[in-house]
Amino acid sequence: MDSVKQILAEYKPAGWDADLVSAGFVKHIAQQGETLSITLALPFAGHSLLAQITEQYADRLRAATGATQLDWQLTIEVATLPRAQGLAAVQGIRNIIVVASGKGGVGKSTTAVNLALALQKEGARVAILDADIYGPSIPTMLGTLKERPVSYDGKLMEPVLACGLKSNSIGYLVAEQDATIWRGPMASKALAQILHETRWGEVDYLVVDMPPGTGDIQLTMAQQVPTSAAVIVTTPQDVALADARKGVAMFNKVAVPVLGIIENMSYHLCSACGHHEPLFGTGGGQKMAEQYQVALLGQLPLHIDIRQHMDEGRPTVVSAPEGALAQAYVQLAQRVGAALYFSGKPIATPLYTLALDE
């Protein structure tokens, strides 16, 4: 089966530190008659990668082995990566990915929601926590504005389910006009309470939508949340990039790995003719990624459909799952999942215990 391994070893997508074989993702190869069986296991979200692999290598594998039928198996078992500052894990949560931005208005929450849904689509168990005290928009974007978490034991809240995603938000718990006038300690305490007093269950990735900015509140939250890694959302123009740089510096200060930059509104995609127009300039995200030696994880378009989907409470990944916009988020999820895995050495997965009376 060396010929099979040699062919599969050519598969190394952008952002991977090792190829499919040397990374240990090929678990079993066997041939019985004219049937070649290949079992793969990925330690991060990436279910649709199997289609890429089969499309690229199926013909060559048949030619190399004489097999007429290929039997592929792919399992997703998300690894747990180290938490910043050695903080204790939240029960049942393997990884916490913080989505942050140096300033507001760059599409951070839109990106966080679609990233979470895309990670779920790629085979992971995902939840989202809306920690944006200045403008908790996750309930609107998920179509759960009127929902409220319930508690069956008076101790833990049950997350609100939307699009198969577990969610909790400051927006569910306080009146809209109250959330924006909280002082730092009150806001940080509220975040810690929501994080630790929600019955998340078993979750591979908890995506946290952080407040925009890099002030004391954001710094305190970054220090309190047992974060696996952060991603920074920005737009290409110089003003946004200057603030995004502060975001990278903040996470470096509290020893939270920054997986990379997501350049949102990278270009305007005309819904009538498909014309690409870089309204906010070009190349800013790439230059910043090179400056800080982090990855440019994705370049997402400015498109009217994304805005409409979010306003309707049906995010793009759910509303048009086979469309080009949804595929852009899926590719982003693949990059983020792989970047997190290759960012460190996996550790033991925190146990999730369930009381018998539950």
The reply, when asked if residue 121 is annotated as ligand binding, is no
| Residue 105 marked ligand-binding | yes
The CA angle 9-10-11, to the nearest 5 degrees, is 90
At 320, list the tokens.
């048009």
Q: Is 107 labelled a binding residue?
A: yes
| Annotated binding residue 103 | yes
Give phi and psi for 166, each to the nearest 5: -80, 135
Phi–psi pair at 259, nearest 5 degrees? -70, -30
Is 102 annotated in a binding site? The answer is yes
Are the C-beta atoms of residues 188 and 220 closer than 8 Å to each other? Answer: yes
Q: At what angle do helices 184-196 and 216-224 cross, to 10 degrees?
A: 30
- How far is 228 from 76, CA to CA, in rounded Å? 19
Q: What are the CA-CA distances from residue 217 to residues 78, 138, 221, 222 (Å)?
A: 31, 19, 6, 9
104 is in an annotated binding site: yes
The 10 Å CB-count burial string (b at 16+, else e) for 107-121 is bbbbbbbbbbbbbbb
173 within 8 A of 62, measured Cβ to Cβ: no
Bridge pairing between strands 26-32 and 93-100: unpaired
Residue 344 assigned as binding residue? no
Structure tokens at 295: 């990855």
Tokens at residue 155, please?
Answer: 């101790």
Q: State whether the Cα torsion 161-163-165-168 is positive or negative.
A: negative
Residue 109 annotated as part of some ligand binding site = yes
Longest dimension (CA), the chain: 70
Distance CA 39, CA 146 (A): 44
Please state, in angstroms and rounded to a whole number, the distance separating the CA atoms of residues 336 and 298: 9
Q: If 0-12 CB within 10 Å is exposed, 13-18 middle and 19+ buried, where does residue 251 land?
A: buried
What tokens were used for 340? 């997190």
Pair of tokens at residue 215: 């002030």
User: What span, in angstroms and rounded, lies between the C-alpha atoms of 43 and 64?
Assistant: 28
Q: Which residues are annotated as a binding site?
A: 102-109
Q: Which residues are annotated as a binding site for ATP?
A: 102-109
